[in-house]
Structure 1
Amino acid sequence: MSTLQQHARRAATVLALATLLGACSHGPHQPGGHDVTLTGGQEVPANTSTASGSSNIRVAHDRSVSGGVRYTGMVATVAHIHEAPVGANGPVIVPLVQTGAGMFAVPAGTMLTSPQYASYQAGNLYVNVHSAAYPAGEIRAQLKP
Structure 2
Amino acid sequence: MLESNQKALGFGAIVVALALASGVASADGKITLSGSEEVPAVTTSASGTGTITVKNDKTVTGSVTTKDIVGVAAHIHLAPAGKNGPPVITLTKKSDNEWNVPEGSKLTDEQYAAYQAGHLYVNVHSAANKAGEIRAQLKP
Q: In the alignment, what sits opposite 2:3?
A: none
1:110: how far off? 0.5
Q: What is the match of residue 139 of structure 1?
A: 134
Cα offsets for 1:19-68 (capped at 9, x unmatched): xxxxxxxxxxxxx7420100000000001111000120100000000001
Superposition RMSD on alpha carbons, in Å? 0.9
- Indicate the residue corresponding to 2:113 in structure 1: 118
2:69 paired with 1:71 = no
Please tell me the residue identity of whatever aligns with 2:119: N
Match of residue 19 from structure 2 = none
SS of the residue corresponding to residue 57 of structure 1 reads strand
* Larger relative strand fraction: 2
Q: Which runs of 5+ in 1 are unaligned?
A: 1-31
SS of the equivalent of 2:57 reads: coil
Residue 42 (structure 1) aligns with: 37
Match of 1:16 in 2: none
Partner of 1:92: 87
Where has structure 1 moved over 2 Å in runs of 4 or more? none
Return the index of the structure with the highest Cα Rg: 1
In 1, the alpha carbon distance for the partners of 2:102 and 2:116 equals: 21
SS of structure 1 residue aligned to 2:114:
helix
Structure 2 portions without partners, runs of 5+: 1-26
CA distance in 2, matches of 1:110, 1:42: 24
SS at match of 2:121: strand
CA contact (8 A) 2:70 2:96 kept: no
Q: Is the 8 A contact 1:33 1:59 kept in 2?
A: no
**Count of residues in correspondence between the two structures:** 114
User: Any idea what the Cα deviations from partners look like across 1:74-125, whole Å, max 9, x if unmatched?
Assistant: 1110000000000000000000000112000000000000010000000000
Q: Percent identity?
A: 53
Q: Distance in 1 between matches of 2:69 and 2:94?
A: 16
- Distance in 1 of aligned mates of 2:104 and 2:132: 25
